[in-house]
């Protein structure tokens, strides 16, 4: 089942902008695509990776939506979060990284034809490695 979600990520300097979380009972989720588009004229630097420590207690998780309205997905299968009781830590290494100019609408689309696997109770983090940034971000996953 293909699921997706678009959300605004806000990040001050060197913090997580947004994470993708999977449920404890969920099988492997594959991240197929990520889009990041700047909504304020601020040069921005983002990196996608596996956090060294997973964030704890997301305060406002949002469920991904099935792209086929006939598919039913249990709540908490795949979610995003932009705030946590304790945030995820910076990845030791990034799977992808991009630096975007200070121009509204600048962006990038990363595609992963075979998918980046997110295991059960796992997560990926889009880390804001540069200055304060506001961006529209979307994810597409295969569940």
Token pair in block for residue 13? 């300097």
CA-CA distance, 8 to 130, in Å (whole number)?
17
Encode pLDDT of 32-86 as tens digits: 999 999 988 888 889 999 998 877 778 888 889 899 988 888 877 898 888 888 8
Residue 135's pLDDT is what?
A: 87
Q: How far apart are CA 56 and CA 140, in angstroms?
A: 23
From the list 132, 136, 139, 133, the residue with the least C-alpha distance to 116 is 139
How many whole angstroms separate alpha carbon 102 and alpha carbon 129? 15
Of the candidates 21, 16, 34, the one whose C-alpha atom is nearest the C-alpha of residue 90 is 16
pLDDT classification of 6: cutoffs 50, 70, 90: confident
């Amino acid at each position: 089942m293909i699921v997706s979600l678009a959300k605004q990520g806000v990040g001050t300097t060197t913090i997580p902008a947004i994470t993708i979380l999977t449920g404890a009972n969920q099988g492997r989720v594959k991240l197929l695509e990520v889009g990041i588009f700047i909504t304020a004229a601020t040069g921005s630097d983002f990196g996608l990776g596996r956090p060294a420590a997973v964030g704890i207690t997301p305060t406002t998780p949002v469920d991904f939506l099935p792209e086929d309205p006939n598919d039913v997905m249990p709540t908490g299968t795949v979610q995003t979060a932009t705030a946590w009781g304790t945030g995820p830590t910076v990845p030791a290494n990034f799977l992808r990284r991009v630096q975007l100019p200070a121009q509204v609408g600048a962006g990038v689309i990363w595609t992963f034809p075979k998918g980046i696997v997110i295991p059960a109770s796992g997560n990926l983090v889009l880390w804001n490695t540069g200055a304060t940034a506001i961006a529209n971000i979307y994810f597409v996953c295969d569940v």
